[in-house]
């Protein structure tokens, strides 16, 4: 844990940096449930002022093994972006499938106020968004959830739905038994999950049977069919999280055709979500319209609802401003000299201007003297052919 003085005492040019340990310290200070609830509140607040944001689909660069994306968004006062990747094969290399960092900047000046890790934050804001959507779309008395895919995000989804939605039983399935064992170990030894029942299932079909909510969190970059129409029962809410880029889906199109479908930002979801299988005129509802009362969510207890969640930049904006506020309140993070401090802001050259005589000769980080290679003016030779 790193400590800092309150932001008000820091130089104007400094950028607050939050490491993964700093964000973990925020969670430890507040508790998992309180942090998730704080994120739900922040994300909901921003969704309710949806029209105030300058929005766009994320910019993606795809390769054979994964994708690297930039996710920008801004309102009248703040701008943010997230750098994030998705490489399912990374775990074989000892790397996370998803790695991310983000920046929160002041719109009026462009000054970056915050640079933060977003790998942990992304998992938590995704779980918070899932719960926020389920609060609006799932049956209020939902108590059982199927969790298909037990990788890095699974614990956060489980804890969010347990604490904030009242889920009492989670039915687990993953094609990799080690992932399920990891999830069980993390939750069984966690006082935050003491009252949560975990049931290991042999298949997706077994896990889904009788569930009120179905959450899919698979990682393979393929057009997979994790959930098919014959598994769906009346009144279910499907929380589709794993399908989040072109060619990477989880839910059979027939499930969507028979359900009422909700999305974050429609232009992005039509390209990246499970929605990519359906024609452009297939009707969906953006979640913000349900939250502010413009459109209805679930119409009756027997209706099947789907939240085709791909992750949207507004959720990262909310997460960044949330951890920024908490870090200032607690006193976490370190100041980065990311932006040059200039005596004259019009004179950037001063950073490399040759030192005047009598000052100490600058040295490199290894201690070697750095010779002044600037040629004195009296030694400059003007070539005749250039005159």
Active site residue 244: yes
183: nearest Cα among 220, 147, 219: 147
- Element (DSSP H or E) covering residue 117: strand 112-117
Residue 191 CB coordination number (10 Å): 8
The 3-state DSSP composition of the chain as helix, strand, coil percent (nearest 5) reads: 35, 25, 40
- Sheet of 285-286, strands arranged across: 197-200, 169-173, 144-148, 213-216, 237-240, 305-308, 260-263, 285-286
List CB contacts of 149: < 8 A, sequence separation 6 or more: 174, 179, 216, 217, 218, 219, 226, 242
The catalytically annotated residue of 244, 274, 308, 316 is 244
The residues carrying an active-site annotation are: 244
């Amino acid at each position: 844990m790193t400590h800092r003085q309150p932001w008000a005492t820091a130089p104007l040019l400094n950028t607050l940096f939050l490491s993964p340990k700093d964000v973990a310290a925020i969670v430890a200070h507040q508790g998992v449930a309180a942090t998730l609830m704080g994120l739900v509140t922040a994300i909901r607040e921003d969704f309710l002022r949806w029209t105030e944001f300058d929005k766009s689909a994320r910019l993606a660069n795809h390769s054979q093994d994964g994708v690297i994306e930039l996710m920008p968004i801004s309102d009248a006062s703040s701008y943010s972006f997230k750098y994030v990747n998705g490489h399912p094969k990374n775990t074989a290399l000892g790397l996370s499938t998803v790695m991310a960092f983000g920046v929160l900047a002041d719109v009026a000046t462009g000054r970056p106020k915050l640079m933060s890790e977003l790998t942990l934050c992304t998992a938590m804001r995704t779980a918070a968004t899932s719960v926020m959507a389920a609060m609006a779309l799932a049956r209020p008395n939902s108590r059982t959830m199927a969790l298909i895919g037990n990788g890095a995000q699974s614990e956060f989804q489980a804890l969010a739905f347990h604490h904030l939605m009242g889920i009492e039983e989670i039915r687990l399935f993953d094609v990799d038994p080690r992932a399920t064992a990891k999830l069980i170990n993390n939750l069984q030894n966690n006082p935050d999950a003491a009252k949560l029942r975990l049931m290991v299932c042999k298949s997706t079909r077994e896990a889904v049977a009788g569930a009120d909510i179905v959450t899919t969190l698979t990682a393979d970059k393929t057009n997979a069919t994790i959930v098919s129409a014959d598994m769906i029962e009346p009144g279910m809410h499907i929380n589709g999280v794993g399908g989040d880029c072109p060619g990477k889906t989880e839910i059979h199109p027939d499930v969507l055709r028979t359900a009422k479908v909700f999305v974050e930002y429609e232009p992005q979801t039509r390209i990246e979500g499970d929605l990519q299988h359906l024609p452009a005129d297939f009707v969906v509802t953006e979640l913000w319209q349900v939250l502010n009362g413009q459109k209805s969510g679930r119409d009756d207890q027997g209706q099947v609802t789907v939240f085709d969640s791909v992750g949207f930049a507004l959720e990262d904006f909310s997460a960044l401003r949330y951890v920024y506020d908490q870090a200032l309140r607690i006193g976490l993070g370190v100041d980065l000299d990311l932006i040059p401090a200039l005596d004259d802001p019009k004179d950037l050259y001063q950073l490399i201007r040759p030192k005047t005589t009598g000052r100490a000769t600058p040295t490199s980080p290894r201690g070697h003297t750095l010779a002044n290679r600037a040629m004195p003016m009296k030694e400059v030779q003007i070539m005749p052919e250039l005159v």
